[in-house]
Structure 1
Amino acid sequence: MNSANVVTIALSKGRILEESLPLLSALGLEPAGDIDRLLRVPSKAADVQFLIIRPTDVPTYVEYGAADMGIVGKDILMEHGGAALYEPLDLNIARCRLSVAAPKGYVPTPGKRLRVATKYPEITKRHYAARGEQVEIIKLYGSMELAPLVGLSDVIVDLVATGKTLLANGLVEIEQIGPVTSRLVVNKASMKMKHARIRELLVQFEATVRG
């Protein structure tokens, strides 16, 4: 099939991919290849293929047209800035929350600028700026819970699903920034060029989610 007629969907690796598979299966779009090894995978629908990529890369692939659609967490969209994408549907999968956490018993020091470790510097900056607070942001890429335990930061901003990892490391949630679910996003040019097929997929996704 001509690539111009193929709809490419970028899927986020990890938990989102796992929870996307039953939804895709219900639409007859099961991956028809090894999703653990391949980065580009055909689907059982001849005109749909998948890219299996890191969640943080999904908005970029969709924004620049390397993928027509994508499934990605709302946290990534908030950090990326989603203005360049259509975000037509909340898929209501991979549910979690974005929270501020601190060591149990933590008490802020008056007059001291708060140090926050996070992989979400933009979200964190906006969150505290909305309250008129200036904070020092330390960007990390993993092992967030360690930062306050070794004095690198006072608190962290991170995703929380069950809270078990926080608890195991002596941390507690002290504030919720907001709930996070996975969203379906669409490239704006693709929405025009492949409108009929993408619109059909959107209707099917929405019916499956609501059903």
Structure 2
Amino acid sequence: MTEQTTASVLFQTAYESRYTWDENFPGYSADVQLVQTAEVYTGTIRINSDLSVEVTGVADEQVEEGIYTQLRDIVTHRKRSSFEQSHGKHEFTLGETDSTGAVEVLVKGDSMGSSYKIRGKEICQVSRMMGRMAFVIDTHKSFDTGSGYIASRYDAVFRNSKTNEISSILKFEDTYEKFGDYYLMTKQVVQEHLDGNPSITEFSYSNIKLLKPAVV
């Protein structure tokens, strides 16, 4: 096996081991509560079967936008697409193996200069650069749903790609529960460390109901 083939197989195995929603995903609705410092906001959300997102009833427009962005991130990670669709044009090479046994996989042909670390059958690090912003996401804990893994505790470090100066550190802790055939997020706690001042934002989802599939 050539190095490129080995790197490609390693990454493809980890990519296909992630938990994603299948083509029968009906969508769901829920009540949302966002707590930030002393402020509490509530509203309703809906992720449709086509993975479009709706957020309504939140008193503050900026908070509503923040909830929408968070749900779009969830959809990005749960959306199922084949390895060929997502990475068919990329070439992979092996980098170094770190002290934990995680193997670096470098990507050629990716506009964001992506690289990954694979431990076992899981992607445990994502590194990307977009213009002046670079970020590294490290997964510290995940759980096995029986049909793929979900990252449950992870950090994101954002830097200025020119100066390498850290601009922000986010620490995430996610909770998922099973509803029908699908695992859905019920809580996310985000600690943001900006200029040495930590702040905590907590998203909670309740009254979760799967939507009825459309009758064809």
Which band: TM-score by shorter chain? Answer: under 0.3
Q: TM-score, normalised by structure 2?
A: 0.21
1 or 2, which has the higher helix percentage?
Answer: 1
Greater relative CO, 1 or 2 (CA 8 Å, sep 6+): 1
Q: TM-score, normalised by structure 1?
A: 0.21
1 or 2, which has the higher strand percentage?
Answer: 2
